[in-house]
Amino acid sequence: MRIEIIGAESLGVRSLCCLVTTPARRVLIDPGLALGYVRHGLLPHPIQIALGRTLRKRIIHALNHADDVVVSHFHGDHIPLVDANPYQLSMHDLQHRSQSVRC
């Protein structure tokens, strides 16, 4: 079994996404992403935005190759959101994948 940490709390980018790979399955856990949208009247720092974009691409890639997805709870740093702000992972980013998702 292999466990890959895709996203973790880093430079203000919140995520706890990881991929568990076994010989039979690839399970993605908590594929969400969030940055503090407006904190103390300030938008995220450009470094946070860049890191968030990189992480978003990695999560989408993992979602496209996962057999199963596990969501621990429904906060934006754990699941893609329908009404995501510009710094969260949106369900609209996953339209082609969400058609095959079973609940």
Spatial contact of 17 and 33, defined as CB atoms under 8 Å apart: yes
Sign, Cα dihedral of 10, 11, 12, 13:
negative
- The answer for residues whose C-beta is within 8 angstroms of residue 17's C-beta and 6 or more apart is 5, 6, 7, 28, 29, 30, 31, 32, 33, 55, 58, 59, 62
Q: In this model, does residue 62 exceed pLDDT 50?
A: yes
Give Cα 34 distance to the centre of its chain: 8
Specify the residue for token string 């057999």.
67
Three-point CA angle 21, 99, 23, nearest 5° = 15
Confidence class for position 25, pLDDT limits 50, 70, 90: very high
Every domain of the chain and the residues it spans: 2-95
Q: How far is CA 57 from the centre of its chain?
A: 9
Per-residue pLDDT band at 103 (split at 50, 70, 90)? very low
